[in-house]
C-alpha cells in the first residue's frame, strides 16, 4: 500500500468516525485509536497522539456553536479545567512509564464504559436540598436559555466530588489521548447535578483545553505524526460537520445501539491484544 492510498482510506475511516461520533454523541476520537491500531497496525503511541489532536479539532469545532447559544457554563468549565489540565499533565507523565499493552487494556475498559454510558436513561436528578456554599463563592450557579420556558436557572452541587472526578477524567485523557467526555459528563450529571444540556456542552468546551495540556507534551515526544494527523483531522472534522447537519433528521436510536456494539467489540479486541502483548 502506498502513502496515497493509505491516506485516502484513513480519510474515509476518519470521516465515518466523525459522522457516527457526532450522531451518537460519543465523540469522534473514541474510535480513532482502535481504527489506527487494529485496522492500520500503527503503534499505539502514534494512535494516541493522533486521537488527541482529533479530539481538539472536534471539540473546538462544536464548542464554537454551543458557546454562541449561551448554554455552556464558562465559569464552571474554567474552574474544572484546573482539575482536568492537572490530571492531563499527570496522565502524560505516567504514559512514559506505562507499558503500551497496559495502556491498551485501560483504553478498552474506558471504551466499554463510554459505550454503556450512552445507553443511560436521561432523567434529571432531583436537586439536593440546601445550597452548596462553595458553588456560591465560586459563582458556579448559572442559567441557560430554552425555547419552551425561557431562561432556566440551576445550582451546582458537590463541588469537591466533581472536582475529584474531573481530575480522574483528565488523567485518562492525558494517558489515552481521548476527550473522556463520558467521564466528564458523569462528574457533572451524577455528582454536580447539572442539567444535561449544560453538562454536555460544558464538557465539550473543556475537552479541547484538557487535550491541549497533554498534546504539548506529546508533540515534543514525537507522538504527533503529520502523516497520520492530516487525514484523521480533516476526515473527523468533515464527518462531525456532516453529522451535525444530519442530526435533526436522522433517527439516532438504532444507530447508537449499532455503534455502541461496534465500540464494545473494538474494546474487547483492544483488551485481548493488550493481554497477548500484540499492542
Partner 1 sequence: MKQVFSKYFRDKDIQQLIGKQLRIGVIVSSVMVFIGGVIYLIRHGHEQPSYGDFTGVREGLADLPGIWQGVLENKGMNIIQLGIVLLIATPIIRIAFSVIAFLLEKDYLYVGITLLVLGIIVFSMMGGLAG
Interacting residues of 177 by C-beta distance below 8 A, sequence separation 6+ = 29, 33, 47, 48, 49, 50, 51, 52, 55, 211, 214, 218, 223
Judged by CB under 8 A, does residue 237 bind partner 1? Answer: yes
Smallest distance, partner 1 to C-beta of residue 122, A: 25
For partner 1, the closer of residues 57 and 186 by Cβ is: 57
Q: Which residues of 152-161 are buried (b: 16+ CB within 10 A; e: fewer)?
A: eebbbbbbee
Residues 201-220 contacting partner 1, CB under 8 A: 208-209, 211-217, 219-220
Judged by CB under 8 A, does residue 12 bind partner 1? Answer: no
For partner 1, the closer of residues 115 and 177 by Cβ is: 177
Whether 112 contacts 267, CB under 8 Å: yes
Judged by CB under 8 A, does residue 192 bind partner 1? Answer: no
| Intra-chain end-to-end CA distance of the chain, in Å | 21
Residue 171's SS3 state is helix
Judged by CB under 8 A, does residue 46 bind partner 1? Answer: yes
For partner 1, the closer of residues 115 and 231 by Cβ is: 231
Phi/psi region, residue 60 (left: phi>0; alpha: psi -120 to 50; beta: rest), is: alpha
The CA distances from residue 34 to 3, 14, 57, 81, 265, in Å, are: 20, 11, 19, 27, 10
| Interface region with partner 1, contact rule CB under 8 A, candidates 37-45, 118-126, 184-192, 244-252 | 37-45
For partner 1, the closer of residues 124 and 136 by Cβ is: 136
Residue where the block lists cell 431562561: 151
Beta pairing partners, 143? 153
For partner 1, the closer of residues 260 and 274 by Cβ is: 274
β-strand pairing of 142-146 with 150-154: antiparallel
In the shown chain, the binding pattern of residues 93 to 122 toward partner 1, with x for contact by CB under 8 A and - for none, equals x--x--------------------------
Judged by CB under 8 A, does residue 161 bind partner 1? Answer: no
Judged by CB under 8 A, does residue 229 bind partner 1? Answer: yes
Residues 62-91 contacting partner 1, CB under 8 A: 63-65, 67-68, 70, 72, 74-75, 78-79, 81-82, 85-86, 88-89
Interacting residues of 95 by C-beta distance below 8 A, sequence separation 6+ = 48, 103, 174, 175
For partner 1, the closer of residues 112 and 198 by Cβ is: 198
Q: Which of 39, 131, 221, 265 binds partner 1 (CB under 8 A)?
A: 221
Q: What is the crossing angle of helices 252-275 and 100-117, to 10°? A: 160
Phi/psi region, residue 102 (left: phi>0; alpha: psi -120 to 50; beta: rest), is: alpha
For partner 1, the closer of residues 211 and 271 by Cβ is: 211
- Give the span between the Cα atoms of 243 and 22, in whole angstroms: 5
Which residues of this chain interact with partner 1, rule CB under 8 A?
Answer: 1-4, 6-7, 36, 40-43, 45-46, 53, 56-57, 59-61, 63-65, 67-68, 70, 72, 74-75, 78-79, 81-82, 85-86, 88-89, 92-93, 96, 138-139, 208-209, 211-217, 219-231, 233-234, 237
Amino acid at each position: 500500500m502506498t502513502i496515497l492510498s493509505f491516506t485516502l482510506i484513513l480519510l474515509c475511516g476518519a470521516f465515518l468516525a466523525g459522522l457516527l461520533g457526532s450522531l451518537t454523541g460519543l465523540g469522534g476520537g473514541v474510535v480513532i485509536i482502535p481504527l489506527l491500531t487494529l485496522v492500520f497496525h500503527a503503534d499505539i503511541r502514534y494512535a494516541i497522539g493522533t486521537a488527541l489532536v482529533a479530539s481538539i479539532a472536534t471539540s473546538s469545532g462544536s464548542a464554537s456553536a454551543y458557546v454562541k447559544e449561551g448554554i455552556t457554563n464558562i465559569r464552571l468549565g474554567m474552574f474544572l479545567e484546573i482539575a482536568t489540565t492537572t490530571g492531563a499533565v499527570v496522565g502524560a507523565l505516567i504514559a512514559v512509564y506505562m507499558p503500551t499493552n497496559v495502556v491498551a487494556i485501560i483504553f478498552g475498559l474506558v471504551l466499554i464504559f463510554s459505550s454503556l454510558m450512552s445507553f443511560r436513561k436521561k432523567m434529571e436528578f432531583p436537586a439536593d436540598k440546601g445550597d452548596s456554599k462553595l458553588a456560591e463563592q465560586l459563582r458556579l450557579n448559572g442559567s441557560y436559555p430554552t425555547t419552551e420556558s425561557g431562561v432556566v436557572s440551576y445550582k451546582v452541587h458537590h463541588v469537591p466530588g466533581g472536582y475529584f472526578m474531573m481530575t480522574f477524567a483528565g488523567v485518562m485523557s492525558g494517558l489515552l489521548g481521548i476527550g473522556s467526555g463520558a467521564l466528564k459528563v458523569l462528574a457533572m450529571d451524577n455528582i454536580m447535578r447539572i442539567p444535561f444540556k449544560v453538562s454536555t456542552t460544558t464538557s465539550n468546551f473543556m475537552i479541547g483545553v484538557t487535550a491541549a495540556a497533554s498534546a504539548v507534551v506529546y508533540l515534543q515526544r514525537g507522538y504527533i505524526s503529520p502523516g497520520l494527523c492530516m487525514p484523521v483531522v480533516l476526515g473527523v472534522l468533515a464527518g462531525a460537520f456532516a453529522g451535525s447537519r444530519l442530526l435533526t433528521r436522522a433517527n439516532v436510536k438504532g444507530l447508537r445501539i449499532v455503534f455502541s456494539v461496534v465500540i464494545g467489540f473494538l474494546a474487547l479486541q483492544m483488551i485481548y491484544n493488550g493481554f497477548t502483548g500484540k499492542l
